[in-house]
Structure 1
Amino acid sequence: MMRFEGKSVIVTGAGSGIGRAAAIAFAAEGARVVCADLSDGAAATATTIGPAARAIRMDAGSEADVIRTVELAVAEHGGIDVMFANAGISGGLPGIFDTDAALFAEVLRVNLLGPFLAIKHAAPRIARRGGGAIVLTASVAGLRSGAGSPAYSASKAGVINLAQVAAQQLSGSNVRVNALLPGLTETGMTAPVFDHARAVDKLDRIGRLNPLRRAAQPEELAKVALFLASAEASYVNGQALAADGGLSSSHPVTRQDYGQTAA
């Protein structure tokens, strides 16, 4: 039995990276998927999936666009069972004193206002179907410093708290809300880092700070998103689940390789 047989799922940021991988994975498990993205990639993802998918151009931080996306899922699939609010932007890597207020506000508009709007407009529809799940893409950058710019990190910290608040405010609705916290993952957002590493033959150094000593692929994060959205996670609610190779399990330390003894 496929986990999402007959379920209606919205995936934002479905044009590339984790969103694209998740949309394809949801469909492979029986879901009917609305692929939403500001880029043309949403249409490409929907084409890859086939008849079970619909595409829509959506700005995650636009309330009108989010409403249109929810309405499309309801019209095409009869309702909504899962909302994966995954869309986000990095805003680059400027420090506090190199970030202007407009850039900071834009990152928060997409990364934090977007998930808020997804909850606000999808949750009532999910509740009407008898319950389901909302998964928000946050980041390990939302836990502590060192994994993103000030604006990006602040936005993702907000997403983590938003998942907790929403889970509480949806008490009794049977709508679960959880946050997925990816570590370094090879996506369109991080492509410049990976492309540079390949160009200088240092790809093996990417992700070396976590115990698995590597970066993640989008499909690995998609599997975690599907778990949180599935009945397998039926008692998981209001949580922030880090999928980061163990990066966030420790404060920075100087360590020996396993099996070596200290001098």
Structure 2
Amino acid sequence: MRFQNKCVVVTGAASGIGRATALLFAREGATVFAGDIDAQGAEALATEVETITAVGCDVCDPDQIKALMEQAATACGGIDYLFNNAGAGGALAAVDEIDVDGWDHTMALLLRSVAMGIRHAVPHMKHRPGAAIVNTSSVAAIGPGYSPTTYAVAKAGVLQLTRCAATDLARYGIRVNAVQPGFINTNIFASVLDMPKEQFEASKAAIAQMSSHVQPVARAGLPGDVAEAVAFLCSEQGSFMNGTSMIIDGGLTIGPRHTWDQNTPGLMDAIQAAP
């Protein structure tokens, strides 16, 4: 019960990583406020554990973010942990084709929402023992090739925001870190491709199969893998971590396939085999 008597706010809590994290915190003693634009999904989550409260929240609207934080703080007397997790795939167009509305919406959803989550939570977190914020970035922040361009840029911004917020908030005893998921088996990939809901499960199976071929850990990442990292960063065990990020990707980003698959020829092998 690492989080007994603690108050936690999780955005994007109705599904995937947010849902798994909200459940983990609640089952370890926390009171959780689960915010999501999918109010019905958040309500369904709240029926599973009595210490979870569902709150409808569109993180593209700063007023709704503020209301979520105020509701949690009023009920608990303050906020101990914030997980800025809400998001989606965003605009798919390349940088030479994207329109300004697609760019702005993606940045509002993935980057501005994190800044405003911090902005409106901090007044309720100052000087609370062990207070911590975790933001969801992505392996896409490392470089191109993992996601659409606008998503990657926004997630790289989340990493820099995390570092800057850690310095800004150290005076209040608030730590700020990030997680960088890789291929986690959630609905985000289906939503990026605008799949109908009936194809979601099929897409998850395809992702699970693909993962065994593109990363050293031969299984798809699960929402619970990221939830455990978030809980660690908030817990006493992670209390010496600040302004940094944890990559949870099954080794996806350690290098090209030949670095971990002996059956795949590398650059030197290709050179030596050349006539």
Say whether the fold is shared (TM-score over 0.5). yes
Give CA-to-partner distance per residue, 1:186-209, whole Å, 9 cap, x none.
1121245862474xx785223522
> 2: CA distance between counterparts of 1:185 and 1:205?
12
Contact 1:139–1:181 (CA under 8 A) maintained in structure 2 = yes
- Paired residues for 1:8-23 under 5 Å: 8-23=7-22
What residue number does 1:41 align with?
Answer: 41
Structure 2 residue matching 1:96: 3-state secondary structure: coil
How many positions carry a matched residue from both structures?
258
Contact 1:176–1:236 (CA under 8 A) maintained in structure 2 = yes
> 2: CA distance between counterparts of 1:25 and 1:139?
21
- Paired residues for 1:95-244 under 5 Å: 95-191=94-190, 195-196=202-203, 198=205, 203-206=208-211, 208-244=213-249
1:253 is displaced (CA, Å) by 5.0
TM normalised by structure 2 equals 0.87
Contact 1:194–1:203 (CA under 8 A) maintained in structure 2 = no
| Structure 2: unaligned runs, 5 residues or longer | none
Contact 1:194–1:206 (CA under 8 A) maintained in structure 2 = no
> 2: CA distance between counterparts of 1:38 and 1:68?
13
> 2: CA distance between counterparts of 1:197 and 1:48?
23
Larger radius of gyration: 2
Cα 1:259–1:87, aligned 2, differ >3 Å: closer, same or farther?
Answer: same
Greater helix fraction, Structure 1 or Structure 2: 2
Give CA-to-partner distance per residue, 1:31-75, whole Å, 9 cap, x none.
00000000121111111122x111111111211011100111012
Structure 2 residue matching 1:76: 3-state secondary structure: helix
- Paired residues for 1:77-96 under 5 Å: 77-91=76-90, 93-96=92-95
> 1: CA distance between counterparts of 2:156 and 2:173?
25
Cα 1:249–1:202, aligned 2, differ >3 Å: closer, same or farther?
Answer: closer
Root-mean-square deviation (CA, aligned residues, Å) is 2.2
> 2: CA distance between counterparts of 1:189 and 1:143?
19
> 1: CA distance between counterparts of 2:264 and 2:213?
18
Structure 1 residue matching 2:82: 3-state secondary structure: strand
> 2: CA distance between counterparts of 1:107 and 1:94?
11
Give CA-to-partner distance per residue, 1:90-143, whole Å, 9 cap, x none.
125332234222111101001000110111111221114244100000000011
